[in-house]
Structure 1
Amino acid sequence: MSFQALDRQAPNSRAGASDLYRAVWRWHFYAGLLVLPFMITLAVTGALYLFDDQIDRIVHSDVKRVAVQPDRPLGAEQMVAAALTFQPGTAVKFTDPPAPDASAEVTVVAASGTRMAVNVDPYDGHVLGARPDQSTLMWTVRHLHSLRLFGPVARGIIEIVGGWSILLVGTGIYLWWPRQQVGGVVSVRGTPRRRVFWRDLHAVTGLAVGGFIVFLAITGMPWSNIWGGKVNEWANGSNFGYPSGVRVEVPMSGQKLHDTAPTAWSLEQAQIPESAPSTAAPIGLDAAVATFERLGLHPGFAVSLPTSATGVYSGSVYPDDLRRQRVVHLDQYSGEALVDMSYADYGPAGRWLEFGINTHMGQQFGLANKLLFLAVCAGIVLLAVSAAVMWWKRRPSGAMGVPPMPADPRVFRGLVAILLIGGILFPLTGLSLIVMLALDWLARRVTTRPRMA
């Protein structure tokens, strides 16, 4: 090959690289435009929820904390009776105090149908207060974080944000990739008055937290409507939602575990067994609690009470230590354990997903887990702020400042094809990608339309 031919190829190669850079930059811009506002909300609420127990015990100390007494705590039935005297209705759940200085909680369905959480001092039966169930500060933060507070349609945004966040990290790594520049790779140049400072700060911060963003996006997907719902069905498998090997050769009701109390993600579809018909009297809550304690359920377990002749006592607990997660259903007449399931009984997919969820929530590795993800949340906010400042400094007056289209449209089409593959994996993300493509095409048509003389 002649030197002249090589000279002709070099500009073409540089033009191709420039076109690819423009295409990636354009979609990085779009991903940021769509995702960053939600990522700020997710980062702030997620950072708060890392310390949910600690914050709730401070904010709601009047009902959550009690003075430790030398006396033995009252029986569960006495505490339920005290709660019902204070808040008439039907008791549906009793939550054992998780620590000696913590109150017990009785969930009561009032005559109006409202579920109320009544906190009781376990030493003297004094009712500390009542409020609507799941209305503490941290429950509100949790529902804000998952967008559950705004209904099922809004929860679909979680899947869209998760998919676009992964796209944001992938395109960001390409844009960050060193191309013989000096500085801006792992260091920050200039001062806050210069745009290069914010560009470098954005790039270096993205490098530090990008992998964590992908992890959080994937482990947050189980809470999405479409992707999360389908994967949940697949992870649970058949056999009434319990993995093979767990005893389920007993009659099952149509009620699912998540209908009675918050549960592990992998057990949401698990059906609740039925007690065998009997002429004997029910064993009672005190005997059920004693059985759960004898079986070794972690302190702080919740007991869902039977509300019919075939109902069961369902004990469940989901502490930070995954190995201590447990669900046990007792026949209300014989006290026999109909189903006894722990984390070790989950299927391989369920164990991996629960491990990811537990780490996502800052529980798996103790305080180190919480502090690491607190720093990640701060990094995400910094990413969003630096992106906004950088865009503000580079935008043309009176325009959005969308990065230019590549000169060769084939590069753009190739990139979109790759993005669509990701859209197939995450359906709502794929749908939003199609909408974004249509809007981008419309915007280009409007801006390139020839003006009338």
Structure 2
Amino acid sequence: MSRTRRDANDLYRAVWRWHFYAGLVALPFLILLAATGALYLFKDEVEQWWYADMLQVEAQSTAPVSAQAQLDAALTAQPGEAFRYVTPAAPDLATEVDIRTADGGKRAVYVDPYTGDVTGTLPYRGSVMWTIRHLHSLNYFGSAASMIIEIVAGWSILLVLTGIYLWWPRGQRGGVVTVRSRPTKRLFWRDLHAVTGLFVGGFILFLAVTGMPWSTVWGSKVNEIANGNNFGYPDGVRVNVPMSDTRLAERELTPWSLEQAQLPASTASHAPAMGLDRAIARFDTLGLAPGYAVSLPNGADDAITGSIYPDDLSQQRVVHIDQYTGEPLLDMSYADYGPLGRTLEWGVNVHLGQEFGVVNQVVLALACAGIVLLCVASGVMWWMRRPSGRLGVPPAPQDPRKLRGVLALLAIGGVIFPLVGASMIVMALIDAGIRHRAARPAAGTTS
């Protein structure tokens, strides 16, 4: 074998080996993420069907009862302290009033806006789709588990990049865009894996990158850079606005880029605070889109916040008003974000299936199905190939420098995504141990 051919084989083995390791780390989680993500794409449709008797009401031509009357009805059905009021996004939907209960819990109470009758209650953010979302983010398993998502996203990027190299035709015709053989043969599953990866690889990259803003380390750092930076927000957005110590994310579900935004403080006043009805009227005058949420003040210096994060990014908006005067303290929309904020918010919106309507939902749902098929095909292919009783790690290259070269290239991604880099170091040490163990019998034979 020529040196050029041997070098090419060694490089292929090195890439294949790390592709295998990336699969070990990412594929089990990719199945979970794809399945839960596909379901969450249809959040509104599923919840309005699942909880139809609670969320849907009969639209009427008469004016709804006052917001305060609806809030009072909710508090009568569920005693406690109201902290959030969500206006109906459509004429046939119920109002949502979120309440802190005496035992420290939270409940969402739904009210028919035309009659003031309570239609039902749920645990706050405890619906079936919130359950799916918590599974998707691994929040059910604690904050530390969310670090796994960041690691999986990074390894998924590695999986796609190494997969493209392994898929590259190199003169072959079969198994490039067509599947050969039949399901009883490993060749079928190899081709199915490769061809499916060709079509869904771009989606994996997109979903991994756009999912990173929610991650623990990388996402938090980018969030920190974007908030208060002119590239994320224009100069003067918060200039001369007195700030409280309360964070927006503590009051309301926000876009990732506003999670650390502080709430403006209301000016101290001897005048009575404006009630919910006046606040609703003020937000309507300011032009917030239907379906906006009103976060009620906790103390004398808190602002009243109106926020809306609809599918249409152009209508995304956060407005804080002084609870005594009703004057806007901060009014921020998608158009006010800098290039960084707009780009990342757009990516997140597409990730959630919101930007292009039903087409966005269907395309990503099909991509998620493809990701599950990709993972299943790889598992069957590995099972057919692996030696009995062994893990079946692909053979190491004869020249170990090829492994080091591939690892050096991968380390660039590890620098960008620190948690991924740390996990790569661990995997490199494990790989070194595997190669050392594999080499020991051979050394014993030669001695």
TM superposition score normalised by structure 1: 0.95
* Aligned match of 1:171: 162
Q: 2:342 aligns with which of 351, 369, 391?
A: 351
* Aligned match of 2:433: 442
The aligned amino acid for 2:150 is E
* Aligned match of 2:409: 418
* Aligned match of 2:190: 199
Separation (CA, whole Å) in 1 of partners of 2:378 and 2:43: 30
Q: Deviations over 1:149-207 (max 9, x none)?
A: 21111000111011100100000000000111121111111111111111111111111
The aligned amino acid for 1:62 is D
* Aligned match of 2:257: 266
Which runs of 5 or more residues in structure 2 are unaligned? none
Matched, 1:158 2:149: yes
Q: Deviations over 1:324-367 (max 9, x none)?
A: 00001111111111111100111211110000000111101111
The aligned amino acid for 1:128 is T
* Aligned match of 1:66: 57
Indicate the SS of the match to 1:106.
Answer: strand
Indicate the SS of the match to 2:65.
Answer: coil
CA contact (8 A) 2:396 2:435 kept: no
Q: Where do residues 170-319 of structure 1 align in structure 2 (5 Å cutoff)?
A: 170-238=161-229, 243-319=234-310
Separation (CA, whole Å) in 1 of partners of 2:400 and 2:432: 12
Matched, 1:428 2:428: no
CA contact (8 A) 2:85 2:96 kept: yes
* Aligned match of 2:26: 35
The CA deviation at 1:295 is: 1.2
CA contact (8 A) 1:248 1:339 kept: no
Q: Where do residues 95-134 of structure 1 align in structure 2 (5 Å cutoff)?
A: 95-134=86-125
CA contact (8 A) 2:226 2:341 kept: yes
The aligned amino acid for 1:168 is L
CA contact (8 A) 2:233 2:341 kept: no
* Aligned match of 2:38: 47
The CA deviation at 1:237 is: 2.8
RMSD: 1.5
Matched, 1:138 2:129: yes
Separation (CA, whole Å) in 2 of partners of 1:286 and 1:310: 19
CA contact (8 A) 1:93 1:108 kept: yes
Which runs of 5 or more residues in structure 1 are unaligned? 1-9
CA contact (8 A) 1:92 1:108 kept: yes
* Aligned match of 1:22: 13
Separation (CA, whole Å) in 2 of partners of 1:248 and 1:124: 43
Q: Per the alignment, do residues 89 and 224 of structure 1 end up closer, same or farther by CA in structure 2, a change over 3 Å counting?
A: same
Separation (CA, whole Å) in 1 of partners of 2:297 and 2:272: 13
Separation (CA, whole Å) in 2 of partners of 1:258 and 1:77: 24
Q: 1:397 aligns with which of 388, 391, 406?
A: 388
CA contact (8 A) 1:236 1:243 kept: no
* Aligned match of 2:316: 325
The aligned amino acid for 2:377 is S
Separation (CA, whole Å) in 1 of partners of 2:422 and 2:77: 51
CA contact (8 A) 1:316 1:327 kept: yes
Work out the number of aligned pairs and report it: 443
Separation (CA, whole Å) in 2 of partners of 1:406 and 1:449: 16
Q: Deviations over 1:380-422 (max 9, x none)?
A: 0010000001111111122111100000111111111111111
Q: Deviations over 1:104-163 (max 9, x none)?
A: 011111111111111111111111222221000111111111112211110001110111
Separation (CA, whole Å) in 2 of partners of 1:228 and 1:306: 29
The aligned amino acid for 1:31 is A
* Aligned match of 1:3: none
CA contact (8 A) 2:226 2:233 kept: no
The aligned amino acid for 2:81 is T
Q: Percent of pairs identical after alignment?
A: 59
The CA deviation at 1:242 is: 5.8
Separation (CA, whole Å) in 2 of partners of 1:449 and 1:365: 57
The CA deviation at 1:278 is: 1.1
Give runs of ≥4 in structure 1 deviating > 6 Å: none
Indicate the SS of the match to 1:449.
Answer: helix
Separation (CA, whole Å) in 2 of partners of 1:182 and 1:116: 59
Separation (CA, whole Å) in 2 of partners of 1:450 and 1:16: 25
TM superposition score normalised by structure 2: 0.96
Indicate the SS of the match to 1:129.
Answer: strand
Separation (CA, whole Å) in 1 of partners of 2:269 and 2:59: 41
Separation (CA, whole Å) in 2 of partners of 1:237 and 1:281: 33
